Amino acid sequence: MADDSAGRRMPFTFLAELQRKFTSTAQPSSSSDDTPAYALQGTFGPVIAQLMEQYNTSPPTDELARAQSELAQVKDIMVQNVEQILSRGERIELLVDKTDNMASQATAFRRGARTVRRSMWWKNTKILSLSVVVGLFLLWLIIAQFCGAGLNQCSTKS
């Protein structure tokens, strides 16, 4: 009998180990027909007790259970890696969205800057034209004071 927590493999592993030790310690000269009942209890009893103590305190690791445990650990690590990759993918998508937004804002800024530059050029051109017209008018006024309004008196008569 074994506890349910031991599983099905552990008791059979114990029995196989017990059988192996029994067959290795039994004398080959004696046959099972010649051996009386309980004859080996004195010599093999301590071996059974020692093996039971070993399996009760620190049972040997079952290869299948150990492999399943390692597989579960590897699976957990892989799930964490996939989650990290997905998280990085989401961050990359966020960066791509921000980059697209910045590119559209840069295009809008460029258009706005071009519009401002053109309007400032026209404004400067208008001010320059007006300044030239005012300058010519002032020049005409000054000359007109000395030569008359039609500039007839400044002409040289030969």
pLDDT along the chain (158 residues), means of 10: 67 84 70 67 81 78 77 94 91 93 96 97 98 96 85 68
pLDDT number for residue 65:
73
pTM (predicted TM-score): 0.40
18-23 long-range contacts (CB < 8 A, ≥24 apart) are: 18/48, 18/51, 21/47, 21/51, 22/47
Show me where the domains of the chain are located.
4-60
